[in-house]
Amino acid sequence: MIDQGRATLLRGRRWVIKIGSALLTNNGKGLHREAMQAWVEQMAELAQAGYEIVLVSSGAVAAGMGALGWTKRPTAINELQAAAAVGQMGLIHSYEMMFKSYGIHTAQVLLINDDLASRSRYLNARSTLNTLIDHKVIPIVNENDTVATDEIRFGDNDTLAAMVANLIDADGLIIMTDQLGLFDADPRNNPEATLITNAFADDAALDGMAGESKGELGRGGMFTKLRAARLASRSGTSTIIVGGSQPGVLRRLFAGEQLGTCLEARQQPLAARKQWLAGMLNVSGALVLDDGAARVLHGQGRSLLPVGVADVIGEFERGAVVECRDQNGILIARGLSNYSASEARKIARHSSADILGILGYQGEPELIHRDNMVVMV
């Protein structure tokens, strides 16, 4: 019988699916197109059933190695970047043509760590991905290996997948790998190793069960997958680590078959996000609300629109954490501002329909969206 936590997770609609290099490249023998076609078919079925899918795909460096005739993963950064530049072309083209056969559009999204460390670029990436999802496009995300350096790279696509899950408030993260899941010992060395089917991501007992990668193609290993699951769980996203080469793996997972290892987050995504906001000690500024906006935020927890802002205090950039106070200075809420202080001053007391005429571009209709806000009183 499927675990209740896993059953609840599988009812979620928004998923990040990550496919590793060893699966995609058939252990260095070029792109494994037959396997890719099978995964695409299953993701297309999920999308057509109403699931929102973001694909995080490894394979660019490994595919480039195959195209260039290299049999060993290089260590020099310029050679890695060259392999990524070559391989990314074939990888994305293959996905595009496969999804197109099901009438599904795709989009290439390349990220580096700096994109998510900067709050303004974080919001830009979040907005782009959400817009693609809203238009029924499947984003295909990879680390931008052609420009990333050791100082700015994510380090592995497991970590990137977890950060994307955080970015879009995903219900679940599926990490497809060449192992069946997380075992209590290394199954390659211990025939008595037992698959862990369900656990909490932050369970310290898991630490000794995850080993480093022994593969030539990828940078990840079970250790990085556990670390990614823990990173995802901070924003309330649970993770399933599963053997991607199993026939119909995604179809079977969503049908309720207990495959792989489910590492649950202890709280839901929205609750975790708001807990993070509530715990922020350093805020960059404040928005003073008129009486109507103060009542709406306090009583109903709705988004803050520019028309309800009477004054803007301090200097801050887009994506900064700001306080929302009433006219008596009482703290009502805290949240992430969709606009800088200078922009907020220009659109304060105005309708959201006026933003385009005032700023010259059409930004978000809310100054702070309710999903990025926590009421403090």
pLDDT tens for residues 205-231?
A: 888 776 554 444 344 468 889 989 988
80 phi/psi in degrees, rounded to 5? -60, -45
Mean pLDDT of the chain: 85
Give the confidence band of 154 by pLDDT, cuts at 50, 70, 90: very low
Cβ atoms of residues 272 and 234 within 8 Å: yes
Rounded-to-integer distance, Cα 344 and Cα 306, Å: 7
Distance CA 209, CA 163 (A): 23
Query: pLDDT tens for residues 183-206?
Result: 888 777 788 889 999 999 988 888
Backbone angles phi, psi at 368, to 5 degrees: -135, 125
Of 261, 114, 108, 92, the C-alpha closest to 173 is: 261
- Terminus-to-terminus CA distance in the chain, angstroms? 43
Higher pLDDT: 43 or 269? It is: 43
Q: Flag whether pLDDT at 151 surpasses 50.
A: no
Pairing verdict, β 285-289 and 238-243: unpaired
Q: How deeply is 338 buried, as exposed, middle or buried, from its count of CB atoms within 10 A (0-12, 13-18, 19+)?
A: buried
Question: For residue 239, is pLDDT > 90?
Answer: yes
Distance (Å, whole) CA 133 – CA 55: 11
Which of 58-62, 272-276, 298-302 has the lowest average pLDDT? 272-276
Categorize the per-residue pLDDT at 298 as very low, low, confident or very high, splitting at 50, 70 and 90: confident
| pLDDT tens digits for range 75-99 | 887 888 888 888 888 899 999 999 9
**Interval 62-73: pLDDT, tens:** 788 888 888 887
Q: Tell me, what's the pLDDT at 92?
A: 93
Reported as a pLDDT band with limits 50, 70 and 90, residue 170 is: very high
φ, ψ dihedrals at 13, nearest 5°: -105, -20
Domain boundaries, the chain: 4-273, 279-375
pLDDT at 260: 95
Q: Please state which of the ranges 152-166, 252-266, 285-299, 360-374 shows the lowest mean pLDDT.
A: 152-166
Domain 279-375, CATH = 2.30.130.10
Within 10 Å of residue 223's Cβ, how many Cβ atoms? 16
Mean of pLDDT values over 144-157 = 54
Q: Which CATH class for the 4-273 domain?
A: alpha beta
**What pLDDT is stored for residue 271 in this prediction?**
63
The more confident residue out of 188 and 322 is 322
**Up-side HSE of residue 177: CA atoms within 13 Å toward CB?**
29
* pLDDT value, residue 118: 61
Percent residues over pLDDT 90 in the chain: 46
| β-bridge partners, 198 | 262
Q: Which residue has the tokens 């599963």?
A: 242
Question: 160 or 307: whose pLDDT is higher?
Answer: 307
The 10s digit of each residue's pLDDT in 246-269 is: 999 999 999 999 999 999 988 766
- Looking at residue 80, its pLDDT comes to 82
Strands, sheet with 261-264, edge to edge from the N-terminal-most edge strand: 106-111, 138-143, 52-57, 14-19, 172-177, 238-243, 261-264, 198-200
Is residue 106 within 8 Å of residue 99, measured between CB atoms?
yes
Q: What is the pLDDT of residues 353-372, one digit of tens each?
A: 999 999 999 889 999 998 88
DSSP run (H or E) holding 84: helix 77-100
**Which range among 166-170, 199-203, 310-314 has the greatest average pLDDT?**
310-314
